[in-house]
Structures are given as structure tokens and as C-alpha cells.
């Protein structure tokens, strides 16, 4: 049964990606990109929720009030599974986007939708280009009151453990003054591991913590701020999900 569900999930997700994200790309093109920063919240739930239903994945959210309204903010998250993309899409946070690695652009349909629906891609092999992408991201944050998801780890963990944090999210916060809102995924690694194609249906938990004010940050203390948030993530992951879910 698990193998059959997994097979159906991947086939459905591939077809649904072409259909829904393709429609999102078309909508962005037809509106000349003027609505690209609003379309992700429209097409995201249409895309993510059916995929999660087919997968047998339910989600419970605590702290939704911290992202319920449009605002310039950077949402950090621990990166452990492809399921996170579907969950974030399903949540439908107002005016959300992603900062992803450049290689994502080569994924058919999904990579193009990433850009056409307001996402940004960063070339981590070239520091100058990476910083330029972060500055463009900062301009989007201020202009559109946009919530942008950034994984400080940079890539998915292979062993389920939290990886060291890179500095992109923190430079973006420093340059824009936007607050950082930590989002913690609990249980996604066990449901679909990066090096495995098999699904394990069940419930995952998402804790959204209060915003961290970055207005007083300086370049000299930026690494300390990153280390402090890393320590918070380690503690939150060790403690497990907050109970009394507010939505899901």
C-alpha cells in the first residue's frame, strides 16, 4: 500500500506541477509580471494541498498569526525534505516567495514558475552574484510587503540533523531591516527523506515563532546573530512541536 501511494503521489505531483504551475506561469506572463508577487498565494494552495492529500500528509500549524498579514519579512526554515515546498505552497501565506539556489532553475516547469511567481535564485558559487540577488530580494521585500522564505542551511540535510547556517538570510535582514520570522518543521524528514523516494503518510507540525527585530543589527555582530538563531533552532527541534495547533 505504501509503495502504491508513493507511486501515485509522484505521478500526480508531476502532472499537477505541469497543470497548476504552468497556469501560474501563463497568468504571470499575461499580466506582464505586474501581479507576480500576488499569484504565488493564489496558485500555491491549489498546487500544494492536493499533492499533500494524495501523499497522505496532514499538517498542523502553531503561530499562524505571525504571518497572517502581508508584511516585509524573512521567514527562515530548517530544510529536510521536498515536502516543505508543498507545505509552504499549501499554507498560502500572503505575498510569499522563495530564495533558492540557481540549480533550481533547471527543473522543468517548477523552476520557471519559481521565477515567474516572484521567487529569486542565487548563485552560491559566485559571491558577487549572490549578494546582487540578495539586494534584489531586499527591494522586493520593501516594495511588495513580501514574505520571503530562505533556508539558512542552504540545502536539505542528509541525516536529519540541523546543518550550519549560511549568511544570506542575515545579510538580507541587515540590508533591509526586515524582521526574521523563524519557522520550524517537525517530522518532514521522517515522512520523505532527501535520498529516498518512499513516502510515510502522517502528520507534520509547523511552528511559526514571533518575529525577531533586526533593526539594531550590525555587520560586525551578524555572525553572532546567525549562531544565536542556530542555537534556537537546535533547541526547538529538540523540544518537539508546540501543541494546541491553531490551523492545519
Classify residue 244: in a domain, yes or no. Answer: no
Rounded CA gap, 200 and 198, in Å?
7
- Residue identified by cell 507545505 is 87
Residue 246 binned pLDDT confidence (cut-offs 50, 70, 90): very low
Rounded CA gap, 47 and 53, in Å?
11
Mean pLDDT, the chain, as a whole number? 87
Please report the pLDDT score of residue 192 as a whole number.
95
Classify residue 246: in a domain, yes or no. Answer: no
Classify residue 224: in a domain, yes or no. Answer: yes
Please report the pLDDT score of residue 213 as a whole number.
96
| Out of 17-26, 50-59, 91-100, 194-203, least confident range | 91-100
Write the pLDDT tens digit of every residue in 2-39.
788 899 999 999 999 999 988 988 988 898 877 777 88
Q: Higher confidence at residue 10 or residue 247?
A: 10
Please report the pLDDT score of residue 103 as a whole number.
65
What is the percent of the chain where pLDDT is above 90? 56
Does pLDDT of 210 surpass 60?
yes
Residues with Cβ within 8 Å of 35's Cβ and at least 6 positions away in sequence, in order, are 27, 28
Classify residue 11: in a domain, yes or no. Answer: yes
| Total domains, the chain | 1
Classify residue 54: in a domain, yes or no. Answer: yes
Write the pLDDT tens digit of every residue in 66-77.
999 999 999 999
Please report the pLDDT score of residue 247 as a whole number.
42
CATH number of the domain at 175, please. 3.40.1130.10
Dihedral pair phi/psi, residue 96, rounded to 5°: -100, 155
> The whole model's pTM is what?
0.89
How much is the average pLDDT of 100-116?
Answer: 70
Find the domain containing 20 and state its range: 2-239
Classify residue 191: in a domain, yes or no. Answer: yes
Classify residue 74: in a domain, yes or no. Answer: yes
Classify residue 247: in a domain, yes or no. Answer: no
- The DSSP 8-state label assigned to residue 69 in this structure reads S
Amino acid at each position: 500500500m505504501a509503495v502504491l501511494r508513493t507511486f501515485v503521489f509522484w505521478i500526480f505531483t508531476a502532472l499537477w506541477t505541469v497543470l497548476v504551475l504552468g497556469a501560474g506561469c501563463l497568468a504571470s506572463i499575461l499580466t506582464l509580471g505586474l501581479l507576480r508577487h500576488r499569484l504565488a498565494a493564489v496558485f500555491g494552495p491549489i498546487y500544494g494541498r492536493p499533492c499533500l492529500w494524495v501523499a497522505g500528509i496532514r499538517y498542523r500549524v502553531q503561530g499562524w498569526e505571525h504571518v497572517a498579514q502581508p508584511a516585509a519579512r524573512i521567514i527562515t526554515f530548517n530544510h529536510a525534505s521536498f515536502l516543505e515546498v508543498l507545505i509552504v505552497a499549501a499554507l498560502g501565506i500572503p505575498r510569499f516567495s522563495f530564495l533558492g539556489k540557481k540549480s533550481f532553475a533547471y527543473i522543468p516547469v517548477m523552476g520557471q514558475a519559481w521565477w515567474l511567481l516572484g521567487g529569486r535564485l542565487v548563485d552560491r558559487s559566485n559571491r558577487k552574484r549572490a549578494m546582487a540577488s540578495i539586494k534584489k530580494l531586499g527591494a522586493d521585500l520593501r516594495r511588495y510587503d513580501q514574505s520571503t522564505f530562505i533556508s539558512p542551511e542552504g540545502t536539505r540535510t542528509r541525516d536529519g540533523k540541523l546543518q550550519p547556517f549560511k549568511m544570506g538570510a542575515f545579510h538580507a535582514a541587515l540590508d533591509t531591516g526586515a524582521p526574521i520570522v523563524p519557522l520550524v518543521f517537525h517530522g518532514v524528514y521522517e515522512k520523505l527523506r532527501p535520498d529516498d523516494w518512499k513516502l510515510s503518510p502522517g502528520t507534520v507540525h509547523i511552528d511559526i515563532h514571533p518575529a525577531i527585530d533586526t533593526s539594531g543589527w550590525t555587520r560586525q555582530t551578524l555572525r553572532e546573530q546567525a549562531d544565536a538563531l542556530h542555537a534556537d533552532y537546535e533547541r526547538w527541534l529538540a523540544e518537539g512541536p508546540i501543541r494546541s495547533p491553531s490551523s492545519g
